[in-house]
Structure formats: structure tokens, C-alpha cells
């Protein structure tokens, strides 16, 4: 019996809980029996014997009841796997960083969807997992449902990864592809994206390239073996791009997309000219990654970079990687 604690019970945490219930019979065949023994968020928690679907209902209706706080659960409760889905803070990594560290120190496996802790302390966390003979998996942190970490580590095992270029922020890609089509100013398309809930009320995390840069730091560490920090990324956002820029680019057969790139020349997130027929000239909120390898040549992967079920897909795939 795998005992699971879910810390962070927002969209992602609930999404995981739903999939764990929905696919129970199927998952049991692959990883054996499992049970969620704790759910917690910043305000409350449930531990022990409770119905997971009911927990989701309670959370939505009135919030989790006050109880043992999240850190106490991670420190003292009996579980085998921590699924950490708290809110991202790329400056401190908290609160996720402390939860993950504590769980790893206790020798518990951790699956996280939270970029913050990895951006702040990638090598420290990997080292900690090794020392304590447990695993830290984080497929959901980069590109949502799009397979990246396991694609490279499993399917492309044996290859040296020479460079990685990709679209790691769906919001920016949506804005740029709409600007390309509609020839409307950035502010107008941004407002439209905010209305559609594709962009946040404070869009800076996305449009200034911060989110893409965080994912790039994780990719550079995990796949290229570069000991990179957030400060190492040269970042240019998309605010200054004009509709006329698309006119001029398209006359020559190019469009513009925000590209995150890691390779021998360092780490960079910036708008780039992309030939219209290039695999990264994507429309909408899609994410994509072009991986240059020594044996397999170029590999391109495209998928949904965000969303409740998409993120749950990545977390469940980590779960099967761990126990399957």
C-alpha cells in the first residue's frame, strides 16, 4: 500500500486527486494499491481515513477544515510519497522547498509540480534525494503534459543533449500568435488573454519571460547537466513587440515567438524570428521543445503546457515511473 500525502490542494492538487480516483482500477494494476492519507493547503488539512472525492467537495464548498498544518504532516505523518503542488515562488522556493527537503530527509519519495524549489535549489534537492535513498520527480514543472524530463532520460537515454530550444510559456505563445493573425497591439491581445483566463491579472510573470526562464533553469539542470541558476538566464520579454514587427517579419517568411534556449552559449529567453514552416512556429497556448542530440539528431515534442488534467497527467506518469 502506497500512502500518499498531497500538500497544496489548489487546481493542481485537486486535479491529481480526481485522476487518482478516476483511474483507480487501472493504476492499481500497475503500481499496486494506494491511498491518499493526507491532503493539506495553507489553511487546513484532512488526515487519516477520509473520502478523497468528499475532500475535494469540502475544499470547494468551504475550504479544508483547520487541522494539522502542512509542515507538521510532512514532518510527522506516516506516508511514502509526497505530492507537492503548492504555489510557485521562484525567489525563495517556499513553502514547497521546506516541505520537499523535509520529506526527502525522512527518506520519502517526492513528486512536485512546483518550479520554485527546483529553480532555487536543484542540485541540493537531487543530492538530498540521493543521500536519503529516495526519489524526487518533477515532470509537471516543465511543459505541463508535454513529456520532457522522462522523454530525454528514458527514451533518449544514451544521447548527449547538445541544446534545447522551445516554447515554455503558453500565455506568451497565445499572445504572439494572436498578434501575428490579428495585427493588433500587445496590450489589446493581452486584455483578451486575461478575459479568457489565459493570462493572469498581473501578467508580468508570463510576458516578461520569468516563467519560461524558470522552466529553462530546470531543463538546463536536469537535461544538460548545467548547474544553472535563475540569474544566469538572459531574459527579454514580449511587451515591446509591435504588430508592425510581424508585418516586416512575415514579408520575409518569419514569425516571432518567445523562445527559451539552453546550450553551450548559455541560457536565454527572448523573442526570436522563426521561419513560418519551423516546428516551433506554433499557434495558441501550446508548448514545444526542440531537443538537439548527438545520436538521434533533432527531436521535437509538442503538447499542452498547462491545465488541471494536463498537469495531473505529468504527475501520474511520475507516479508510475516510481512504482510501476
Partner 1 sequence: MMFTLIVELKDKPGQLIKTLEPISRLGGNVIGIVHKRDKITPLKKIPVEISIEIDENKVPELVDALKASGITVREYNEVRLVTTSSLLLVGHIVHTDISDTINRIDSTGYAEVIDLHINMPQLNEPSTALITISATGKENLRKAVELLKVICKEKKILVIEPINEEFS
105 is annotated as an active-site residue = no
Total residues at interface with partner 1 (CB under 8 A): 25
Do the Cβ atoms of 46 and 67 come closer than 8 Å?
yes
Residue corresponding to grid cell 511587451 = 239
User: What residues from 254 to 273 belong to the interface with partner 1 (CB under 8 A)?
Assistant: 254, 256, 259, 263, 270-273
CB of 215: closest distance to partner 1 in angstroms? 18
Give the C-alpha separation, 123 to 307, whole Å: 28
Cell numbers for 46: 484532512
Residue 187 or residue 240: which is nearer to partner 1 going by CB? 240
* Cis check: omega of the bond before 217, within 30 degrees of 0: no
- Among 209, 207, 203, 205, which residue's Cα sits nearest to residue 269? 209
DSSP 91: T
CB of 234: closest distance to partner 1 in angstroms? 10
Q: Does 236 bind partner 1 (CB under 8 A)?
A: yes
Catalytic residue among 59, 215, 268, 304: 215
Residue 31 or residue 162: which is nearer to partner 1 going by CB? 162
Compute φ and ψ for 240, nearest 5 degrees. -85, 0
Do the Cβ atoms of 41 and 147 come closer than 8 Å?
no
CB of 207: closest distance to partner 1 in angstroms? 14
Q: Does 244 bind partner 1 (CB under 8 A)?
A: yes
Residue 126 or residue 250: which is nearer to partner 1 going by CB? 250
Do the Cβ atoms of 224 and 262 come closer than 8 Å?
yes
Residue 147 or residue 237: which is nearer to partner 1 going by CB? 237
CB of 271: closest distance to partner 1 in angstroms? 5
Do the Cβ atoms of 172 and 299 come closer than 8 Å?
no
CB of 208: closest distance to partner 1 in angstroms? 13
User: What residues from 142 to 181 belong to the interface with partner 1 (CB under 8 A)?
Assistant: 163, 165
Residue 271, H or E segment: strand 266-275
CB of 228: closest distance to partner 1 in angstroms? 18
Residue 278 or residue 309: which is nearer to partner 1 going by CB? 278
Do the Cβ atoms of 6 and 83 come closer than 8 Å?
yes
Contacting partner 1 (CB under 8 A), which of 49, 195, 251, 295? 251
- Please spell the DSSP secondary structure of 184-251, one letter per residue: --HHHHHHHHHHTTSS-SSTHHHHTSHHHHHHHHHHHHHHH-----GGGEEE--STT--HHHHHHHHH
Contacting partner 1 (CB under 8 A), which of 73, 245, 262, 282? 245
Residue 153 or residue 242: which is nearer to partner 1 going by CB? 242
Pairing mode, strands 286-293 and 254-263? unpaired
Positions marked catalytic? 215
Binding site for partner 1 (CB under 8 A): 163, 165, 236, 240-242, 244-245, 247-249, 251-252, 254, 256, 259, 263, 270-275, 278, 280
Amino acid at each position: 500500500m502506497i500512502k500518499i500525502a498531497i500538500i497544496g490542494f489548489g487546481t493542481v492538487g485537486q486535479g491529481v486527486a480526481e485522476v487518482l480516483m478516476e483511474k483507480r482500477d487501472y493504476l492499481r494494476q500497475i503500481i499496486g494499491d494506494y491511498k491518499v492519507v493526507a491532503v493539506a493547503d495553507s489553511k487546513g488539512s484532512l488526515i487519516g481515513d477520509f473520502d478523497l472525492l468528499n475532500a475535494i467537495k469540502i475544499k470547494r464548498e468551504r475550504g479544508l477544515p483547520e487541522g494539522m498544518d502542512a509542515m507538521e504532516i510532512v514532518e510527522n505523518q506516516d506516508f511514502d510519497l509526497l505530492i507537492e503542488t503548492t504555489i510557485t515562488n521562484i525567489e525563495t522556493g517556499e513553502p514547497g522547498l521546506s516541505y520537499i527537503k523535509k520529506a526527502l530527509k525522512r527518506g520519502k519519495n517526492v513528486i512536485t509540480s512546483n518550479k520554485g524549489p527546483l529553480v532555487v535549489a536543484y542540485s541540493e534537492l537531487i543530492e538530498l534525494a540521493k543521500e536519503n535513498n529516495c526519489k524526487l520527480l518533477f515532470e509537471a514543472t516543465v511543459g505541463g503534459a508535454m513529456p520532457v524530463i522522462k522523454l530525454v532520460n528514458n527514451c533518449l537515454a544514451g544521447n548527449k543533449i547538445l541544446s534545447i530550444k522551445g516554447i515554455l510559456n503558453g500565455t506568451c505563445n497565445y499572445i504572439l500568435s494572436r498578434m501575428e493573425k490579428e495585427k493588433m497591439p500587445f496590450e489589446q491581445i493581452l486584455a483578451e488573454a486575461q478575459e479568457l483566463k489565459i493570462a493572469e491579472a498581473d501578467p508580468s510573470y508570463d510576458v516578461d519571460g520569468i516563467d519560461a526562464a524558470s522552466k529553462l533553469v530546470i531543463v538546463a539542470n536536469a537535461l544538460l547537466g548545467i548547474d544553472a541558476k535563475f540569474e544566469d538566464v538572459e531574459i527579454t520579454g514580449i511587451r515591446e513587440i509591435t504588430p508592425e514587427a510581424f508585418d516586416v517579419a512575415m514579408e520575409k517568411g518569419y514569425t516571432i515567438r518567445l523562445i527559451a534556449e539552453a546550450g553551450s552559449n548559455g541560457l536565454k529567453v527572448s523573442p526570436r524570428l522563426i521561419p513560418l514552416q519551423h516546428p516551433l512556429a506554433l499557434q495558441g497556448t501550446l508548448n514545444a521543445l526542440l531537443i538537439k542530440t548527438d545520436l538521434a539528431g533533432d527531436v521535437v515534442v509538442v503538447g499542452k503546457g498547462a491545465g488541471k488534467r494536463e498537469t495531473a497527467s505529468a504527475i501520474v506518469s511520475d507516479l508510475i515511473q516510481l512504482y510501476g
